[in-house]
Structure 1
Amino acid sequence: MELRHLRYYVAVAEECHFGRAAQRLHIAQPPLSQQIKQLEEDLGVTLLNRSTRRVELTAAGQRYLERAKEILASVDAAADEAVRIAGGEIGRVSIGFTGSATYHLLPAMARRLRAELPDIDLDLHGEMLTPQQAAALHDGVIDLGFLRPPVHDRRLRYEVVGAEPMVAVVPHSHPLATRTSLEVADLEHEVFVAYSGFNRSVVFEVVIDACQRAGFRPVIRHEVGETATLVSFVAAGLGVALVPQSVQQLQITGAVYVPLAGEVPTVELAMAMRDEPPSPDLERVLACLYRVLPEVDLTGNP
């Protein structure tokens, strides 16, 4: 039995007339009658009672009609889904976000992607340092990453999509918390909380460089892997920190953000992926992001 037999049977059963069914199927009536007879012989069941005046379904024929229509609907749906997957309309895309981008860019991107590409499932990973994202891209854990460049890996490609200034974050009881702005040099005698240098955080290197340019090397008392933990440590009075401005989206009681003046360090944000042609679903996500990114303030300003 082939799918065409099911389609032939459904047409005859719905029309209850071989002539009309043949016209509907654009075939001659005799071959259609032969195909239905062959189907009944293969099944060993009478599906239709025929007379010179009309065609009637047997009880078995009625149930077979219901099942046949379900099967054909499933086959048609599978074909449609395969076409949509091949065209990138359906799929699953995994995206990683660096710490500070987790609190502003991730929700903004997720809202727009879900609105414009509702049939693409998004697997979102926040609080991923650049080295973690590079490894995850290689391993296929994520398909796209928003990270801090540079990325020294020829197997990956990236493009810078924005830059933002750094700001200071200090405990609310700290004398500098009431300042409208401060310079990096004002933090010379403070202990710092920083992103992990062991994991080669790009922001860690920016902080070290900014302090050295200001004439001192920071005393780093605590190194952490997540932005929320870093700000919480500052709120607990364990030190001060320099963070990308977008971290201000993360409001934790006890931590105060203070803008920097003078020579203000900046960090870039880049979109990275494997150096290979993107899958159809990732290609559609990228097209959407290229439209959306110019509309998003990557610094997290209201």
Structure 2
Amino acid sequence: MELRHLRYFLAVAEERHFGRAAARLHMAQPPLSQQIRHLETELGVVLLTRSTRRVELTEAGAAYLERVRAVLAAVDDAGEVARRVAAGLQGRLSVGCVGSATYSLLPAMARRLREELPGVEVAFRGEMLGAQQVAALQSRDIDLALLRPPVGDPGIRVRTLRSDALIVALPDGHRLTARKRLSVTDLRDEDFVAHAARDSAMYGVVRRLCGRAGFEPRVRHEVMETSTLVTFVAAGLGLAIVPEPVAQLGVPGTIYRPLAGAGARIDLAVAVRADDESPVIEQATRVLFQVAASPLTSGPPQERLTGGEASAGRGVIIRRSPR
């Protein structure tokens, strides 16, 4: 028995006429009649009663028709699912986000993915430092990472998504808030709050910037999460150099100023496993680049920063990276 036999039977059962069924199937009537007789012989039951004018279903044929419809519908559905998965329109995806992307890019990305890829089940893990994301990619706990380069593992493929300006986060009332723009040299005698040295690309960026300015940053507190970092700044425990989108977190008591000078930028990149050719990842990456190019996700306006106001981030429910 083959699927074509079931489709032949379905056509005859619905048309109640061999001639009309043959026309519907684009075949001659004699071969169709022969195939139906072969099906009945294989099953060992009579499915149809035939007359010169009409074909009727036997009781066994009516029961068989119900199951045939279900089988063919399931086969068609399986084919559609396979095509959607192959096109990257259905499946599962786990995305990790560095802190600044969690608050600036994740909300818009989540909305766009729901709109364009409703058949893809997406899980987000926010506030993951770069080293954590690389480890999660290697262990296949996540499929796509939004992180700050560099990534030293050749098994991870990295594409630059955008370049973010660096800014200085200051406690409200700090003497440096009187300035509209700061240089790294202005921060020489200040206490710093920074992301953990072992896991964060930003820690290395801060050290390099300060080293070029001729001093070692006095890091008083190392934290794992961007929200904690900004909260520590607001509490007066130090200042921080952060990517511009961090201002969208909107923690009260924190003021932001642009950072002047060469090298005061940092890339945001998309990272995936080099051997992973999942169509879902390809579709999600396409959507992500579209979202990143939108003015609404490219960071707060400079005049807002120089005016001393932090832009509030949109609300989004995320799952914290487990410690």
Matched, 1:139 2:139: yes
In structure 1, distance between residues paired with 2:266 and 2:297: 11
Query: Which secondary structure state, in structure 2, belongs to the residue aligned with residue 159 of structure 1?
Result: strand
The 1-side partners of 2:139 and 2:117 are apart by 25
Greater CA drift, 47-56 or 131-140: 47-56
Note the alpha carbon deviations across 1:40-70, whole angstroms, 9 max, x for none. Answer: 4554554333333322224443343232112
Q: Does 1:194 align with 2:194?
A: yes
How many residue pairs get aligned? The number is 301
Q: Which deviations, in whole Å up to 9, do the C-alpha atoms of 1:199-232 show, x marking residues without a partner?
A: 2x11011112223333432222221111111112
For the 8 Å contact 2:292–2:298, the answer to whether it is kept is no
Structure 2: runs of 5 or more not aligned: 302-323
Kept in 1, the 8 Å contact 2:169–2:239? The answer is: yes
Q: CA deviation at 1:74?
A: 1.1
Deviates more, 1:134-143 or 1:45-54: 45-54
Partner of 1:121, secondary structure, is strand
Match of residue 10 from structure 2: 10
In 2, Cα distance between equivalents of 1:207 and 1:75? 58
**Matched residue, 1:301:** 300
Distance between the aligned counterparts of 1:291 and 1:52, measured in 2? Answer: 64
Q: CA-atom RMSD, angstroms?
A: 2.7
What is the aligned partner in structure 1 of residue 270 from structure 2?
A: 271
Q: Which amino acid aligns with 1:101?
A: A
Write the distance in 2 (CA, Å) between the matches of 1:114 and 1:12: 42
Q: CA deviation at 1:273?
A: 2.5
Q: Point out the more displaced range, 222-231 or 143-152.
A: 143-152
Q: CA deviation at 1:6?
A: 1.7
Find runs of 4+ consecutive structure 1 residues off by over 6 angstroms.
Answer: none
Q: Do 1:170 and 1:235's aligned partners in 2 also have CA atoms closer than 8 Å?
A: yes
* Unaligned residue ranges in structure 1 (runs of 5+): none
Normalised by the size of structure 1, how large is the TM-score? 0.86
Question: Structure 2 length as normaliser, TM-score?
Answer: 0.81
> How much has 1:292 moved relative to structure 2?
4.8
Q: Distance in 1 between matches of 2:63 and 2:38?
A: 18
1:1-302 to 2 correspondences below 5 Å = 1-199=1-199, 201-261=200-260, 265-276=264-275, 278-296=277-295, 299-302=298-301
Change (3 A) 1:287 1:174: closer
- Answer yes or no: is the 8 Å Cα contact 2:105–2:292 preserved in 1: no
Distance 2:80 2:237 in 1: 58
Q: Are the structure 2 counterparts of residues 259 and 156 from structure 1 closer, same or farther at C-alpha, using a change threshold of 3 Å? A: same
For the residues of structure 2 that align with 1:293 and 1:258, how far apart are their CA atoms?
A: 23
Question: 1:298 Cα shift?
Answer: 6.1
- The alpha-carbon deviation at position 251 of structure 1 amounts to 0.6
Q: Which moved more, 1:71-80 or 1:118-127?
A: 118-127
- What percentage of residue pairs aligned between the two structures are identical? 54
Q: CA deviation at 1:289?
A: 4.2
More off after superposition, 219-228 vs 165-174 = 165-174
